[in-house]
Copies of this chain bind each other. A is one copy, B any other.
Amino acid sequence: MTSNLATLYSDYIACLNAQDWENLGHFVHLDVVHNARRLGLHGYRSMLEANYRDIPDLRFEIEFVLIEPPKLAARLAFNCTPTGEFLGLAVNGARISFAENVFYAFEDGRIREVWSVIDKDAIEAQLQFQAALKTAHPTPGNS
């Protein structure tokens, strides 16, 4: 069961990275709940599609996984350039890296519930640092 979930999860992440939405239903339950919202498979797919519209170079990297069936916990790493706002922050094409700590509960071999937290504090710190660098070293075009 543990190795099943490990394979299932790495296949799910590969599905996301391939934006293979037709096969999302192999991994995600029809009645999936995400952060207490009853999105269902359709809403879950819409959320992911919106993520890729906002972050065209989005890529999910697994740092590590813990499995205790029926739950799985993952530390995910991202390094990407959201084109506009992300989590209410004006990223506007800046390169940011951040982590997501996420739990999943599986039912009938599919993701039934997700508890996800993204490290917004880390993103804010990077944007502030980049803004401070720009102020200290303005590019010729801005001087």
Residues of chain A touching chain B, judged by Cβ–Cβ distance below 8 Å, are 64, 66-68, 71-73, 75, 87-88, 99-103, 115-121, 124
Q: Is the contact region of chain A dominated by helix, strand, or loop, or is it mixed?
A: strand
Whole-angstrom distance between the Cβ of A11 and the nearest chain B Cβ: 19
A100 to B117, CA, bound (A): 8
Across the interface, A66 reaches (CB within 8 A) one of B68, B75, B100, B117, namely B68
Copies of this chain, complex-wide, total 2
**Could you pull out 10 A-B pairs where Cβ atoms are within 8 angstroms?**
A64-B103, A66-B67, A66-B73, A68-B68, A88-B121, A88-B124, A101-B101, A101-B103, A117-B119, A120-B120
User: Using Cβ atoms and an 8 Å threshold, which residues of chain B touch A99?
Assistant: 115, 117
Which residues of B lie under 8 Å from residue A73 when comparing CB positions?
Answer: 66, 73, 101, 103
The docked-state distance in angstroms from the alpha carbon of A130 to that of B18 is: 40
In the complex, what distance in Å separates the CA atom of A103 from the CA atom of B73?
A: 9
Q: For the complex, give the distance between the alpha carbons of A115 and B64 in Å.
A: 11
| Closest 8 A/B residue pairs (Cβ) | A101-B101, A73-B73, A66-B68, A101-B117, A117-B117, A120-B120, A117-B119, A66-B73
